[in-house]
Amino acid sequence: MRLRTLTALAGALALSLATGCAKGDSTGASANTVTYWLWDANQLPAYQACAKGFEKENPGLKVQITQLGWSDYWTKLTAGFIAGTQPDVFTDHIQKFGQFADLKVLEPLDDLDIKDSDYQPGLAANWIGQDGHRYGTPKDWDTVALFYNEKMAKDAGLTAEQLNDLSWNPKDGGTFEKAIAHLTVDRNGKRGDEPGFDKNNVKVYGLASNGGGFGDGQTQWSPFTGSAGWSYTDKARWGTKYQYGSKTFKSVIKWYFGLAKKGYLAPLSDYNIQSNQANTQVAAGKAAAAFDGAWMISSYNGFKGMDIKTALTPVGPTGKRATMMNGLADSITKGARNKEGARKWVAYLASDKCQTVVGKAGVVFPATPAGTEAAIAAYEKKGIDVSAFTEPVADKKHFRTFSYPITNYAADVTALMMPAMEDIYGNGKPVSSLDQTNDQINLILSQ
């Protein structure tokens, strides 16, 4: 309870400081304008095109789009809820959904014609609150795969077929660990699996660092915990107990961060959430491979002088591969000034009319099947193979897909898990410490 109080006070302070920045972003819009916020600059042109199509179909209505960077986006949005400067519609993230639903700042969308069958499996259902009301319309989706430097792989004697046929286990790491070790090279040219390898003087790490993974590990350890059969909570949605203290979870985390101790995984000190993420490490030639999401496809393929390919996540102890399948949504704020226009805009965003336009931009995979197909075609036109991302969605026999944990108090969970995971990764703290962290989290959820 004390943690929640401190978190709330810290959040209130940050919000009060940010409120002044938020003013004016949505104010000044005329009565026939729908204000819309998103964070991805790469998607902005596609949604500007959608806005033109919408305005043509709805004479008299205008869409005013504001694009903000990830961190500023959530700070100003939350501040806007307090100051009354929130947009009519915004791009929502499943990680934030529980908190926003609990605060009752979202408008129910039950009157919109949203059918599960109209979207990729599971995307529509994720946006149903504990009260049974819908608070978001499916927008797009992403999965995780292994990006790798093709030249480095060839130099190591690893083929695309081999990298797509890796398996792992928490005891010896399987063929995945062998591949990552062989991709690792120290400053004397010794590979990670060769005699004399110096783990304290590594030139190229087999696997880039994406940080400790907070409480979800989306682009870090989630492909491994998922393929080991572990789930974040006791229920698929709106769970009441987290399971970070389970033997399975702790065995995976011990093995995964143990790769850093062996010198194969870049250290936590190489990661910076603002500037030095996994993709920048690969771009700089400091890492041969990195787990990352489909939203990063264009970034990796834009590295000058490098051919970056993708491979499937490795097969785990369950006999399946696994990846988080995250899906964004568009939500209407409770304090929207133009709710009628906002409903029309959200319905349009969720339709094939907009989602095929977004798909043709070749930046993300839209939620509707038609939008997804348009994106696949756009990537193919660019010469980019995206099968490592799309195959898990199509092949449920060999892949397990799972969502972000959807619970109340998501911010508190992150506040506890972030330092806990970084202590294990960067400071060598034992995984047994997760028992206490898990107990603290579940105490919060029980309030």
Q: Please state, as a whole number, how many other Cβ atoms lie within 10 Å of the Cβ of residue 395.
A: 12
pTM, full prediction: 0.91
Residue 29 is predicted with a pLDDT of: 63
Q: Where are the beta strands (DSSP E) in 224-298?
A: 287-293
Low-confidence ranges of the chain (pLDDT < 70): 1-29
Residue 25 is predicted with a pLDDT of: 43
What domains can be seen in the chain, in order of their start residue? Answer: 2-140+327-385 (3.40.190.10), 144-324+409-445 (3.40.190.10)
Helix ranges (H only) for 84-203 are 94-103, 150-155, 160-163, 174-183
Distance CA 404, CA 231 (A): 10
Looking at residue 404, its amino acid is: Y
Distance CA 116, CA 344 (A): 19
Report residue 147 as tokens: 């990006």
Residue 6 is predicted with a pLDDT of: 34
Integer angstrom CA distances of residue 193 from 65, 148, 183: 52, 19, 9
Cα 252–276–20 angle (5° rounding)?
Answer: 110
Query: If you search the block for the tokens 């490098």, which residue do you land on?
Result: 306
Residue 21 is predicted with a pLDDT of: 37
Distance CA 110, CA 39 (A): 26
Report residue 75 as tokens: 């700070």
